[in-house]
Structures are given as structure tokens and as C-alpha cells.
């Protein structure tokens, strides 16, 4: 299990990442289980490799709507 804070602008906390994740009860961080450590980026579908790691990033990051 890994946790991610939105101020680091990583895929796990991005609106456009479709990996398996859940938001903490205080909605301040995202929890990612190892089985869902990679996910597709919905704004960059043609990137290579097609799935981005939870710890990835890019300039199009936007905060996931479930986060406070």
C-alpha cells in the first residue's frame, strides 16, 4: 500500500488517472494498493507505455475531484 498527497501532483491524485485507488477518510490523501499501482491516463491515451504508475506525473495534472 502507498499513499499520495495532492501537492506532489502525481498520477494517483490526478483527475485523469483510472488506476485502482481510494481516498482517505479526511479526503487529504490517496491510497493505492500494489495491485492497482498502474492505471491508464485518460488525457494521454497514446503515451508509451499506455499505463502510468501511481507516482508518475505530467504538466496536465488536475486534482482528483474526491480530494478536499
Q: 34 or 45, CB closer to ligand SF4? A: 45
Q: How many of the chain's residues bind ligand SF4 (CB under 6 A)?
A: 13
Length of the chain: 68
Q: Is 38 in the site for ligand SF4 (CB under 6 A)?
A: no
What cell does 13 get? 491524485
Q: 28 or 50, CB closer to ligand SF4? A: 50
* 67 to 10, 36, 46, 47, 49: CA distances (angstroms): 13, 18, 27, 25, 27
Q: 6 or 56, CB closer to ligand SF4? A: 56
Amino acid at each position: 500500500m502507498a499513499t499520495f498527497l495532492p501537492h506532489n501532483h502525481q498520477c494517483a491524485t490526478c483527475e485523469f488517472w483510472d488506476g485502482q485507488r481510494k481516498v482517505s477518510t479526511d479526503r487529504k490523501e490517496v491510497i493505492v494498493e500494489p495491485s492497482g499501482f498502474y492505471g491508464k491516463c485518460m488525457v494521454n491515451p497514446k503515451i508509451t507505455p499506455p499505463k502510468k504508475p501511481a507516482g508518475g506525473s505530467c504538466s496536465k495534472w488536475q486534482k482528483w475531484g474526491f480530494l478536499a
